[in-house]
Amino acid sequence: MKGKYLSVLLFLSALPASAAGTGSEALSFLKIDTGARAAALGGAYAALGDDASSVFYNPAGTAFVDRKEFIFSHDQWLDGLQHESVAYVQPVNTVYTAFAGTNLLLSGEMDRLDASGDKLEDFQTVEGELSLGFAADLGRDWLAGAAFKGLSQAGFGRKASTVAGDAGVLAGFGRLRLGASVSNLGGAIKFGSYTFQLPVIMRAGASQALNDHLWLAADYVKAGSADGALCAGAEAALNMKADELFFVRAGYRTGRTGAAGGSFTAGVGLREKDMRLDYAYVPYGVLGVTHRLSLSINFGVVRDQLPKIKHYPRGYAVPREREPVSIKKKPSETKKAPSIAPFTW
């Protein structure tokens, strides 16, 4: 089984051993959907994202997080590869939000073979990114976010790193929300005489709340040199108890090759008080099936001032009374609340 690992990994990452020349893309794992909720929705998250997973899709979406939030995601990816991510979001005040995130692809021990198929040695590869950024309420129903990130790739006894940036915007129009983002701008990795560009990922999408229990989302995604893809997803929320919600999700994505199989995705989620557990099922045809799990945890005090306009279902928050703030500000000291309503309950 481990003999397959190398072919899968080289399909994902343009390492020097497989490079045909300058200009190939490195760190192709950045194209993989991060987080179970977004993956179950087919990756349609540019306008819909409103939790810590937004760090990896559209940084402007982190402005919707009303309390401190951690999200941990594990992806049992193709042929034993491990895809791990962690993100943290912290509201600073009613206008600004800070965040950090890391995203890794780990190969584990793999066999390196020569041209005749004989084993040469064991090796492993690690590819990752670490991002830091902030989001801000611009007023008039606009949000924006940006991140600075460091990226690295290590394998075959070599290591290289670079820096890049992400940026995104969101706009609200009642129940409709529009979003756009660009990721991995400005970076390239150099191994010896070979230069590998990062896959610049551009997203543009819309999300629409149909009612208080159902919403739809659709994105157009252009990831590096790959053809553009259309992504679409839907989520339905079912009340279990006063502090519990159960979610059913489905998605679809175009642009895959015939070998990658069907483009339908599915998933479920359970929200109980301050924790949310999500699962996504994403098939890749003859390459196999990926199973993704994410755990979100909220804690701390709600922002001093919440949006005053009507909230719509974001498939995340459970109805709750706002926690008291110990120090009351004078009216002149209170900053304006974010003007875009997150999809919430």
> In this predicted structure, which of 29-33, 56-60, 68-72, 178-182 has the lowest mean pLDDT?
29-33
Tell me which of 247 and 331 has the higher pLDDT.
247
Chain Cα centroid distance, residue 100: 12
Q: Where are the domains of the chain?
A: 2-15+23-333
Per-residue pLDDT reduced to its tens digit, 274-290: 999 999 999 887 777 88
312 has pLDDT over 80: no
Give per-residue pLDDT as tens, 97-147: 999 999 998 875 555 555 565 555 555 678 889 999 999 988 888 899 999
| Residues 283/261, Cβ–Cβ less than 8 Å | yes
- For residue 17, give the 3-state DSSP assignment: helix
Select from 184, 192, 180 the least CA-distant residue to 145.
180
* Percentage of residues of the chain with pLDDT beyond 90: 40
Determine whether domain 2-15+23-333 maps to CATH 2.40.160.60. Answer: yes
Closest to 50 measured CA to CA, from 140, 153, 143, 160: 143
pLDDT at 255: 72
pLDDT averaged over every residue in the chain? 78
Give the pLDDT score at 256: 65
Q: What is the pLDDT of residues 166-185, one digit of tens each?
A: 999 999 888 899 999 999 99
pTM reported for the whole predicted model: 0.80
Q: Classify 145 as helix, strand or coil.
A: strand
- Indicate the Cα dihedral angle 257, 77, 84, 229, nearest 10°: 10
End-to-end Cα spacing for the chain = 46
Mean pLDDT of 199-219: 92
